[in-house]
């Protein structure tokens, strides 16, 4: 009888451990999106142009849904249970499109490929990673946003950046928020540069 009791206890413990491990193995996915507390930037004048926002190129080490963590200057690892919900090449372009479209700068702003746009917005992400070096945790994003004049096949504006922000909220959600904030800030800088560029050329 005692042996049966021990067997029953063992089975209960085994099932409990299995249930806990199942919970621990759940993968979590994180969104890059404009913070709800941010007031979208708007421009004073709209320009009569059509612009496409294309996917961004991303360095191979970061061109995936697995979130990268750097613990040494040249050592890169990837979280197994923490992923971006959408690959950065698309997610970042989606954010930029939303912010630029909401700004009202262009007569028409489209996401992807359309017929005969006047300008194309694209760029490159060099790094998108969580840093944990010398017990300091931060979000790191670097890259460049570009405005290309299709008619002249020339680069009109280039907005290059390399930002590292200390994490106040050290959760993975806090990290995703920090990256989203950097993208928002850099897109707003980019919008201001474009507004100045067009106003100087008296396109409005």
Work out the average pLDDT over 25-38: 85
What residues make up the domain containing 89?
A: 27-200
Residues 6+ apart with CB under 8 A from 152: none
- CATH number of the domain where residue 101 is located: 3.40.50.10610
Asked if the structure places residue 4 within a domain, the reply is no
User: Residue 166: its pLDDT value, please?
Assistant: 97
Work out the average pLDDT over 94-114: 95
- Provide the sign of the torsion angle of the four alpha carbons 70, 181, 192, 204, taken in this order: positive
- Provide the sign of the torsion angle of the four alpha carbons 55, 60, 62, 65, taken in this order: positive
Asked if the structure places residue 14 within a domain, the reply is no
Q: Total domain count for the chain?
A: 1
Using one digit for the tens of pLDDT, what is the confidence trace for 116-150?
999 999 999 999 999 999 889 999 999 999 999 99
Asked if the structure places residue 98 within a domain, the reply is yes
How many residues are listed for the chain in this entry?
204
User: Residue 59: its pLDDT value, please?
Assistant: 97
69 closest CA partner among 120, 149, 127, 151:
127
Number of CB atoms found within 10 A of residue 181's CB: 18
User: Residue 24: its pLDDT value, please?
Assistant: 55
Asked if the structure places residue 12 within a domain, the reply is no
d(Cα 61, Cα 142) in Å, to the nearest integer? 13
Asked if the structure places residue 165 within a domain, the reply is yes
Asked if the structure places residue 148 within a domain, the reply is yes
**Over the chain, what HEC string results?**
CHHHHHHHHHHHHHHHHHHHHHHHCCCEEECCCCCCCCCCCCCCCCEEEEEEECCCEECHHHCCCEEEEEEECCEEEEEEEEEECCCHHHHHHHHHHHHHHHHCCEEEEEECCCCCCCEEEEEEEEEEEEEEECCEEEEEEEEEEEEEECCCCEEEEEEEEEEEEECCCCCHHHHHHHHHHHHHHHHHHHHHHHHHHHHHCCCC
User: Residue 135: its pLDDT value, please?
Assistant: 86
Asked if the structure places residue 147 within a domain, the reply is yes
User: Residue 12: its pLDDT value, please?
Assistant: 46
> Are the C-beta atoms of residues 167 and 160 closer than 8 Å to each other?
no
Residue, of 55 and 17, whose pLDDT is higher: 55
Residue, of 77 and 13, whose pLDDT is higher: 77
Asked if the structure places residue 139 within a domain, the reply is yes
User: Residue 99: its pLDDT value, please?
Assistant: 95
């Amino acid at each position: 009888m005692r042996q049966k009791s021990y067997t029953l206890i063992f089975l209960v413990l085994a099932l409990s451990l299995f249930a806990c491990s199942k919970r621990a193995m759940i993968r979590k996915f994180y969104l890059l999106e404009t913070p709800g507390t941010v007031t979208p930037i708007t421009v004073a004048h709209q320009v009569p142009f059509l612009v496409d926002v294309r996917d961004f190129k991303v360095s191979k080490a970061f061109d995936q849904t697995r979130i990268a963590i750097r613990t040494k200057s040249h050592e890169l690892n990837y979280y197994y249970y923490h992923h971006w919900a959408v690959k950065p090449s698309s997610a970042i372009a989606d954010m930029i499109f939303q912010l630029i479209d909401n700004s009202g700068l262009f007569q028409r702003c489209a996401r992807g490929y359309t017929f005969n746009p006047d300008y194309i917005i694209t760029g490159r992400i060099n790094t998108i990673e969580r840093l944990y070096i010398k017990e300091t945790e931060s979000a790191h994003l670097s890259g460049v946003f570009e405005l290309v004049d299709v008619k002249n096949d020339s680069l009109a504006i280039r907005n290059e950046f390399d930002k590292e922000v200390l994490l106040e909220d050290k959760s993975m959600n806090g990290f995703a928020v920090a990256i989203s904030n950097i993208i928002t800030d850099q897109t707003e800088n980019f919008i201001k540069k474009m507004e100045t560029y067009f106003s100087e050329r008296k396109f409005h």
